[in-house]
Amino acid sequence: MKTVFLPLGDKPISHYPVQYAIEISAALGATLIVSRLYREDARSRGLLKGNLTVAEISSQEIQKELENFELKGDYKIIPVEGDDLIEAVAKFHQKENIDLIVLPPRHQDIHEAYFLGSVSGGFVKKTDIPALIVPEGYGFKPVKNILMAIKSGIIKDEKVLLPLEDIMKAEDAIVRLLQVKTPDYLPEDSEFNEVLGKLISAYKSSENATLFQGLLEHLNENYPDMLCVFRRKRGFFTKLWEESRIKKSDFESRIPLLVLKEAE
């Protein structure tokens, strides 16, 4: 893994997701890219006060905010220009390639009923960037036990597993697989990708109405440091992603959640 991307909002940055991004990128040996959206009026392009551009001013502001954190490893400050943060980051990803994006659950949302707000949810719904969602209040600790929850063991593109593999190698972690057989479970879902099978240290299956219910039943048995799920056409997020926001009543994670997106 080469790059971990951390997008910041306009409001004061939250301590926990930022420090987690710093720690996980250092553990992975990746460069942390810290970014923020800036808008440059066409009428005022070029140099501003003090011979600085809007991008340079934004970089200085980010650097000042990062002084409140314990920085580790390599990092870069790269503001992105545009009117929409998700679109701007997606364009950056096309040019530079982002291996993992670290997000807070609600970003700038204040709706306590939601686990994911429109910004963080939009990144997972509208981009193909693997996402690591870090709950507010969760301090970094080594990732030793990962619980992966799936409906189907079929994986079309094995590259989708690379972020998980990188975290496993860097942290010497194990992956326990929980296959939740929901009412729409098909016989072919029992087939497992060979690469996925090699990553798994333990397997268990359960029958539940939803994947979330299956996860809730088995969380206390595993005490994981991280959850891992797929976002694919027929699976966990099919109905949840009708809108970018996700209500806590539909899904909530109090530990870091790694969302891998399989090609559709």
Cβ-in-10-Å burial (0-12, 13-18, 19+) of 112 comes to exposed
- Give the mean model confidence (pLDDT) for residues 59-71: 91
d(CA 58, CA 52): 10
Top-confidence residue, 76 or 127: 76
Q: Could you tell me which residues are beta bridge partners of residue 229?
A: 259
Q: What secondary structure does DSSP assign to 178-190, as a single string?
A: EEEE-TT--GGGG
Top-confidence residue, 248 or 103: 103
- pLDDT value of position 143: 94
Q: pLDDT-derived band of residue 193, with 50, 70 and 90 as boundaries?
A: confident
259: DSSP letter: E
- pLDDT value of position 94: 93
Q: What is the pLDDT of residues 216-237, one digit of tens each?
A: 777 777 788 999 988 765 454 5
pLDDT over 50 (residue 43): no
Global confidence as pTM: 0.85
Buried residues in 153-188 as b, exposed as e (16+ CB within 10 A) = bbbeeeebbebbbbbbebbebebbbbbbbbeeeeee
CB atoms within 10 A of CB 141: 12
Domain with CATH 3.40.50.620 in the chain: 3-133, 145-261
Cβ-in-10-Å burial (0-12, 13-18, 19+) of 39 comes to exposed
Q: What is the pLDDT of residues 72-95, one digit of tens each?
A: 989 999 999 999 999 999 999 999
- Give CATH superfamily name and number for 3-133: HUPs (3.40.50.620)
d(CA 248, CA 115): 5
Residue 127 corresponds to which tokens in the numbers above?
């981009």
d(CA 147, CA 140): 17
Q: Which CATH number fits domain 145-261: 3.40.50.620, 3.30.70.20, 3.90.1640.30, 2.70.150.10?
A: 3.40.50.620
Q: Which amino acid is at 228?
A: C
Mean pLDDT for the chain overall: 82
SS3 label, residue 207: strand
Work out whether strand 226-231 and strand 131-133 pair parallel, antiparallel, or are unpaired: unpaired
Among candidate residues 129, 167, 111, the one with its CA nearest the CA of residue 7: 129
Q: pLDDT-derived band of residue 120, with 50, 70 and 90 as boundaries?
A: confident
Percent of the chain with pLDDT over 70: 81
